[in-house]
Structure 1
């Protein structure tokens, strides 16, 4: 699970930090988790260091689907989003509250394997060409697997199948 960093503000909907805004540190897509900077923290008392107790602060994950909500920059209130298409045919996030387009962070275009950006991808000689992709290679028929093999190999079946009974 590689973390994906981002740069947008959310509002926490649960816990002692309910209603507070924070910057998302990173997202773990596989788990639908996000870590919000300085919010939803857990404090643990560690062993003493030079006679002073040591308090350790760790951020806990929040569920993206139900525990945080994206903040609309128009009025700094939490909003739901919709995915719509612009006139150019580009898919964008739109705020339900204000109708404003909310741009995706630059890190959303990164791949996990080598962090290349989608916009920098170029077709190469190892890619399948368009004509090959559109060629029909399978013609469905109502024959069984055995009947299809017999037809392809030119085998004539003259035996009669035995009676079967279904109870």
Structure 2
């Protein structure tokens, strides 16, 4: 998966299409990401010791990684990612549109 925690992404498909946010968590095995403030769901919880009140909690649900695209740091538009090998042998994620390292 080429999207990492902390990246800025834009949703390119689904009901949240066109909205931007920051990646809070990634799940490589299921190819899903959680984006801050997007894809909110309501969870009904029973009272527990940690949360004695219980009630309805609203939280972000995971989106499939194919429905989000990384935002180019230079132009602010969605871009694909390519891996570029540097002279010292390390690989760096690079935006295809601008060529800038992410």
- Return the TM-score normalized by structure 2: 0.77
Which residue matches 1:83? Answer: 83
Q: Does 1:74 align with 2:63?
A: no
Which residue matches 2:5? Answer: 6
Contact kept in structure 1, 2:10 and 2:68, CA below 8 Å: yes
The size of the alignment, in residue pairs, is 91
Contact kept in structure 1, 2:8 and 2:70, CA below 8 Å: yes
Unpaired segments ≥5 residues, structure 1: 48-53, 103-167
CA distance in 1, matches of 2:45, 2:88: 56
CA distance in 1, matches of 2:23, 2:33: 7
CA distance in 2, matches of 1:46, 1:92: 42
CA distance in 1, matches of 2:19, 2:86: 32
Deviation at 1:6, TM superposition (A): 2.0
Which residue matches 1:151? Answer: none
CA RMSD of aligned residues (A): 2.1
Q: Which runs of 4+ in 1 moved over 3 A?
A: 43-47
Deviation at 1:40, TM superposition (A): 1.1
Unpaired segments ≥5 residues, structure 2: 47-54
Structure 1's 15 and 46: CA in aligned 2 closer, same or farther, altered over 3 A? farther
Structure 1 residues 15-164: aligned runs within 5 Å: 15-43=14-42, 55-64=56-65, 66-102=66-102
**Higher helix fraction (1 or 2):** 1
- Return the TM-score normalized by structure 1: 0.49
Q: Deviations over 1:137-157 (max 9, x none)?
A: xxxxxxxxxxxxxxxxxxxxx
CA distance in 2, matches of 1:45, 1:18: 26
**Higher strand fraction (1 or 2):** 2
